Structure 1
Amino acid sequence: MQNVFGDLAVKWESTLRSPSPAALAWDLLSERTSARARTKPGGSAYSVLPRLHADAVVLRYRLGIGREEIAELLGLDALEVNGMLRFATRKVSEAWHMRQA
């Protein structure tokens, strides 16, 4: 986490000028943490899904953030987030069923 804050501090001025500072900050955090999550025993959303889809799952189902706010954090529109969550739900379900077989 400390590295993320350091990276963000270095890019602070350009981050503030970007169309979505929250999306840039989230991307830095996600990039650092998703690699670690992929190697966790027992799996995680990051081991089954593309990073952006797994981010949407974490934000929605672990942190309880609404779809509109997720869209803002990820720099997307709400329809894209809805589609990503549907895709993620299907893929995670498939992966779970495969593990049970």
Structure 2
Amino acid sequence: MSDKPTWGYKRADELRKEEIIAFTPFEQLKTAFAKYIEQQEEKPVDPLLIEAREIVAVEYEKAGHPMAAAAYRSGVYDNDMDLKTAYAALKSREPQS
């Protein structure tokens, strides 16, 4: 078996051609590949979100709620007000670009 892709080239070209909004063939290819990656992989978690989860989880552990702490760490409560507040505070520390 060859290491050179066969049908993959044809499929990549088809995906590239679907990206008519891009200006150059390179941009078309890059956009098609980015879409493919997003379909195959999980979106990376924001490091500040992980830090906010930990901050809130520690507080729930201190209050005697280890199950809630575990749920915060795993992302179950990412839309909770406590977590959003911690995340916003962390985000406000970042330098503005």
Same fold? TM cut 0.5: no
Which structure ranks higher in relative contact order (CA pairs < 8 Å, sequence separation ≥ 6)? 1
TM-score between both structures, scaled by the size of structure 2 = 0.33
Structure number with larger C-alpha Rg: 2
